[in-house]
Amino acid sequence: MARIIGGVTTSHIPAIANAMTQGLEQEPYWKRFFDGYEPVKEWLTKVDPDVAIVVYNDHGLNFFLNQIPTFAIGCADRYENADEGWGLKTLASFDGDAELSWHIAESLVNQNFDMTMCQEVLVDHGFITPMALMWRHFPKWPVKAIPLVVNTVQHPLPTAKRCYQLGQALGKAIESYPEDLKVVIFGTGGMSHQLQGERAGIINVDFDLLCIEKFIDDPEWLTHLSNDEIMQQAGTEGIETIMWLVMRGALQPKAKLIHKHYHVPISNTGAGVVVLENMEKQ
């Protein structure tokens, strides 16, 4: 049977992708941020996943505002990156796992999550930045990848609670797949940042650290936050942190903490990294 070995949270902002393209990892501005990913890479090497499910939001590459699904899943054998007008380098395509994707979609729909199923997805910086953070040192992507896209762009957005519940259903979906696969889930985005308006540039360290602590030990606490409260505390783009809860919901309540890392500012953002590992089933 397929098994979720653990999950990783990470920011996915394009400034990180640009820094990697330009090889700036050891520059003073970036060093502490990137060095904090080395234990993540070591953990990934140790647990050696077969598939990564990347939970992210599209920023106007694959979806336009004519059609915005609340939750969508890629169901293809391959995903391409493309020019999104942000001046980022286009990365190599990603192998998917269509059979697993369709199994997850079916299971989620049967658990009352009405997913949008996509046989083509152009994956943007929200997807490629985490993949590159984890595996750019490999000559080719060492895992298959599945995009799981959450609308955090056009309100009304799903609630934190709904994202957590989706994660719980995702966990059941994956662990009912008959093939012996090791699956890792990336919850991407956040933490505090606001790109827009006169309030742009807010950073809320106290709230970010509180969210990290609760995320690890008491994720239910986060599900009681309204999107209004999160935007008040963490900024309009800080709302992306709700996507972490998809990852958290899919993991065991008492998953083991492997690593936590926080750095601020990275561009406009408080950047939080948490690695959690599921216990072996008894």
Partner 1 sequence: MTWKKHEYDDIPGTYVFDGRRSHQGYALNKMAFSFNRQENREEFSRDKAAYCRKYALTDEQTAAVLAADFLSLLRQGGNIYYLAKMTTYYGLSIQDAGASFQGISTQEFKAKLVEAGEGFEEKMQKLGGYWGG
Kindly identify the residues of this chain, within the stretch 32-71, that bind partner 1 according to CB under 8 A. 32, 35-36, 39, 59-61, 64-65
Q: Which is nearer to partner 1, 82 or 279 (CB)?
A: 82
Site string for partner 1, 102-131 (x = CB under 8 A): ------------------------------
Taking Cα atoms as reference points, which of 172, 260, 181, 173 lies closest to residue 213?
Answer: 260
In the residue annotation, 59 being an active-site residue is answered as no
In the residue annotation, 263 being an active-site residue is answered as no
Place of tokens 């050891």: 26
Measured CA distances, 125 to 5, 140, 143, 237, 249 (Å): 25, 18, 18, 15, 24
Q: How far is the CB of 239 from partner 1 (least distance, A)?
A: 9
Using CA atoms of 171, 174, 178, 181 in order, give the dihedral in degrees to the nearest 10. Answer: -110
Sequence-distant (≥ 6) Cβ neighbours of residue 82 within 8 angstroms: 61, 90, 122, 124
* Residues facing 116 on adjacent strands: 72
Q: How far is the CB of 178 from partner 1 (least distance, A)?
A: 37
Taking Cα atoms as reference points, which of 58, 43, 48 lies closest to residue 243?
Answer: 58
Q: How far is the CB of 200 from partner 1 (least distance, A)?
A: 4
259 binds partner 1 (CB under 8 A): yes
Residues catalogued as catalytic: 125, 193
Binding residues (CB under 8 A) for partner 1: these are: 15, 32, 35-36, 39, 59-61, 64-65, 82-87, 153-156, 194-206, 209, 213, 227-228, 231-232, 236-237, 257, 259-265, 267-268, 270, 273
